A and B are shown apart, each in its own frame.
Chain A
Amino acid sequence: MPDFSALNTAYSGLKAAQVGIDTASHNVANAHTKGYTRQIVDLQTRFPFLSQYGPLGSGVEVARISRARDAFLDDRVRSAYDTQGSLKERADLLGRLEGQMNEPDLGVSRALGEVWTAFEDVALNPSDNAARSNALSELSNLTGRINGVRAGWDRLEGDAVDRLRLRIDDANTALRQLADLNTAIQDTTAFAGAPNDLLDQRDLLIDKLAQTVGASSQFQSNGTVRVVLGGVGLVDGSSVQPMSVGAPPGFAIAAAGTTVVAGGEVAGIQKFLTTDLASYRTRLDTYSIDLVNAFNTQHALGQTATATPGGPLLSYNPANPSGSIAVVITNPALLAVSGSPFAANSGTNAQAMANLRTSLSANTNTLTFDASIRGFITDLGALTQNETQATLSQDELVAAAELTRKGTHGVSLDEEMVQMLQFQHSYSASARMMTTVDQMLETLIKGTGIVGR
């Protein structure tokens, strides 16, 4: 046991207090850094000297600087993020799908109503060219609206696919960054212990991956993290398996040569593309075909102003019915307004066209055109409403999970101030201790051998 070991002990106190102050100031500086985890200085006593009186304390040392991280809270937040990402993207896209329909004021339902009215007006005054022209223009307004909805949806599909690719690109970037971090962390851990700030960055990337593709993570014994999606290891140590987006209509995600079922935002976009948009587009297509068939069948039963049977009134291209539905006839005289046989002032067929309103010609002959488009709008509205509600409640869940996590991981300025004071006092006290020992030494050195002088 060295003499005056208290000098050394006090010195260890000074050093520990310095580290404490450094860490507190690091915490304060990063109080609002995204993903930052509060760091805690773990102190422990140094190995004691063995004196003749038993072990004698030899001061303090910093065992490690640890992160206040709780992996369980991370898991909770990440699974909440996964669901939220999926719901949010789908609800957002559905909202835009709904928006493209422009209901109730500027949509198909209103245009259809105007068509019935216009044909009934023709029936009131069959020989009036203006009424016929008006019926044709209302009809082309209707087909224009349907074309518009379809075009809007096609644009939306393009946007959604772009978004899907962007998300996958983002996720791939995150995977690469994560692999780099894995390497850096492994290297650092080997000689200097866990690099807290790198771990924070990695956790942030894992959060992002959970939200984007719903990937989960497994900690490995060497300090690295393995990122898994659908059984496929996307990141393993420093190796990366980037994901790719498949061709339409499935837009399947593949990694390492296998198809993986993604979660998160990617799943929401995929679901929108393959289920929602596809089914509503089919419905609009069927609706367009039904419209064309019903109008053309009825139109052929009538007679035009030149006493010939009505020709095709509407047309569509089977490759894209709702996008191509159009009015064929431009000359109002060719509108088959008269019943058969021809009569100059007969509006029987115009009335019959207006009466298509009540015929069950839509939805495989089960609904009227009005009811069918109404059902369409209501279904889409209800779905959007549901998904939006689900997103809102999931938002609450995410917020709650995130709040708990931030409560544990986050920096409390008050607490850091207390830490600061604590270490400041500890530093002062250690310094005083050194002064005391110093004075004792001075007494010994200067006072020794001058007895009686």
Chain B
Amino acid sequence: MRISSETLMDSSLRRLTSRLERFSTVQGQLASGKILQKPSDDAGGMNRALMLRADQRLRDQESRNAEDGQTWTQLGDSKLQNSLDRMRRARDLIIQARSGASGPQDRQAIADELRAIQGEMVSTANSRHLGRGLFAGFSGGDAVTKVGATWTYPGDGGQVQRRISDSEVVTVNQTADQVFGFSLGAGNDIFSVFDQVIASVGSGNDTGMAAGLNQLDATFGTVQTSLGIFGARQATIETAIERNREESLSIKAYLSETEDTDFAKAVLELQTEEIAYKATLGAVAKAIQPSLVDFLR
């Protein structure tokens, strides 16, 4: 093949440019820390990276959902534990009132304490979390109110749900009508029972007190059931949080493998490219320099 001066220049220049291009590619990967900078760098890799990024965002959201759900169930749980304590105390008081040892003044004191306990129970039922009734469903108002002489549940059956994974949705609230025995029939809810018992204790009506004791036991059962439900949901949420954390870690690792630069490898490559570039420079300098002109006199 005939080599003209221009051929030599052109091919030398091409070699230099292509070397420099490779050098700058590796340099860019090192500087940005990413091997995937635009979709056309590696369409398949970008597809994977986009999927992983979406997954990552989902897992983050789910962990936020789960943590929020955890607050709900923990709060509900502690409120109900507290209610159970108060109900136990009420039970003891009623038994004490029924014993022959209590005179009218003692019963009056007991009735006062029972009224205080009822008040605490009402405020427990109406407790709020971030401005929302813990036991009021979706309703904005109180969970329990007294209309005339009747205790009512003005809330709705709204279930506060939290998505904790792609397939799992957990209900994190329970409504006062379930928890406090409104579902046991009119007059059987815990607040009406307290009304009845307080009246019976005040008047020394032993039959009334005995009936109240039975009704109290029944609502005790519903509160305990609700506690059990909270416990089970808490366990579900905790498992989800744990699993989510692990998944998040493995997604992060995979994502980094897909789109991040392997620094050790890139530095090595950069070094190799630098040597190759210098070698090409040297070769070009040697090839271009001499011509017959230099040797003719």
A interface residue numbers (CB < 8 A to B): 31-32, 38, 94-95, 98-99, 101, 103-104, 109-110, 113-114, 116-117, 120-121, 124-125, 127-128, 338-339, 343-346, 351, 354, 358, 370, 374, 377-382, 384-385, 388, 399, 402-404, 406-414, 417-418, 421
Partner of A31, one of B5, B42, B58, B138: B5
Chain A to chain B contacts (Cβ below 8 Å), 21 pairs: A32-B5, A94-B40, A98-B39, A103-B39, A104-B49, A109-B53, A110-B53, A117-B61, A338-B138, A344-B140, A344-B141, A345-B138, A345-B139, A378-B39, A378-B43, A381-B42, A385-B39, A399-B10, A406-B6, A407-B2, A417-B292
Distance (whole angstroms) from the CB of A396 to the closest CB of chain B: 9
- A381 B2 Cβ-Cβ under 8 A: no
Distance (whole angstroms) from the CB of B69 to the closest CB of chain A: 9
Told that A116-B61, A403-B10, A410-B5 touch, could you supply 14 new A-B pairs with CB distance under 8 A? A104-B53, A116-B58, A117-B60, A128-B130, A339-B138, A343-B139, A378-B43, A381-B41, A381-B42, A382-B40, A382-B43, A399-B10, A407-B2, A414-B291
- B4 at the binding interface (Cβ < 8 Å): yes
Residues in A neighbouring B64, C-beta threshold 8 A: 121, 124
- B50 A384 Cβ-Cβ under 8 A: no
- A120 B65 Cβ-Cβ under 8 A: yes
- A417 B293 Cβ-Cβ under 8 A: yes
A339 to B156, CA, bound (A): 13
- B163 at the binding interface (Cβ < 8 Å): yes
Residues in B neighbouring A411, C-beta threshold 8 A: 4-6
Chain B window 6-39, contacts with chain A (Cβ cutoff 8 Å), 1 for yes, 0 for no: 1101110010000000000000000000001011
- B137 at the binding interface (Cβ < 8 Å): yes
Chain B count of residues within 8 A CB distance of the other chain: 54
Residues in B neighbouring A104, C-beta threshold 8 A: 36, 39, 46, 49-50, 53
- B57 A343 Cβ-Cβ under 8 A: no
- A407 B292 Cβ-Cβ under 8 A: no
A117 to B55, CA, bound (A): 12
Residues in A neighbouring B65, C-beta threshold 8 A: 120, 124
- A31 B6 Cβ-Cβ under 8 A: yes
- B1 A404 Cβ-Cβ under 8 A: yes
Known contacts A345-B140, A412-B5; is-contact A418 B292 (Cβ 8 Å): yes
In chain A, what residue has the closest Cβ to B132? A345
Which 8 residue pairs of A and B lie closest in terms of their CB atoms, listed nearest first?
A381-B39, A410-B4, A344-B140, A343-B138, A382-B43, A384-B40, A381-B43, A346-B138
Q: In residues 44-59 of chain B, which contact A (Cβ within 8 Å)?
A: 44, 46-47, 49-51, 53-54, 57-58
Residues in B neighbouring A351, C-beta threshold 8 A: 161, 163
Partner of A413, one of B5, B58, B132: B5
Known contacts A381-B46, A406-B6, A407-B1; is-contact A345 B61 (Cβ 8 Å): no
A343 to B159, CA, bound (A): 11
A305 to B188, CA, bound (A): 35
- B4 A113 Cβ-Cβ under 8 A: no
A388 to B292, CA, bound (A): 41
Residues in B neighbouring A120, C-beta threshold 8 A: 61, 65, 163
Known contacts A124-B64, A412-B5; is-contact A406 B10 (Cβ 8 Å): yes
Known contacts A98-B39, A382-B43; is-contact A124 B162 (Cβ 8 Å): yes
Partner of B50, one of A109, A354, A412: A109
A138 to B131, CA, bound (A): 25
Partner of B2, one of A127, A370, A412, A417: A412
- B1 A414 Cβ-Cβ under 8 A: no
Known contacts A413-B291, A413-B292; is-contact A378 B46 (Cβ 8 Å): yes
B interface residue numbers (CB < 8 A to A): 1-7, 9-11, 14, 36, 38-44, 46-47, 49-51, 53-54, 57-58, 60-61, 64-65, 68, 130-133, 136-141, 156, 158, 160-163, 166, 291-293, 296
- B3 A417 Cβ-Cβ under 8 A: no
In chain A, what residue has the closest Cβ to B40? A384
- A32 B6 Cβ-Cβ under 8 A: yes
In chain A, what residue has the closest Cβ to B14? A399
Interface centre among A101, A124, A346, A418 (most CB of B within 10 A): A124
A399 to B130, CA, bound (A): 71
Residues in A neighbouring B158, C-beta threshold 8 A: 343, 345-346
Known contacts A103-B38, A121-B64, A124-B68; is-contact A417 B296 (Cβ 8 Å): yes
- A113 B53 Cβ-Cβ under 8 A: yes
- B40 A385 Cβ-Cβ under 8 A: yes
A101 to B13, CA, bound (A): 34
Distance (whole angstroms) from the CB of A103 to the closest CB of chain B: 6
A319 to B132, CA, bound (A): 45
- A98 B4 Cβ-Cβ under 8 A: no
- B44 A127 Cβ-Cβ under 8 A: no
Residues in B neighbouring A381, C-beta threshold 8 A: 38-43, 46
A31 to B58, CA, bound (A): 65
In chain B, what residue has the closest Cβ to A33? B6
Interface centre among B4, B54, B166 (most CB of A within 10 A): B4
Residues in B neighbouring A101, C-beta threshold 8 A: 39
- A414 B7 Cβ-Cβ under 8 A: no
A117 to B281, CA, bound (A): 54
Partner of A408, one of B2, B11, B14, B292: B2
- A377 B61 Cβ-Cβ under 8 A: no
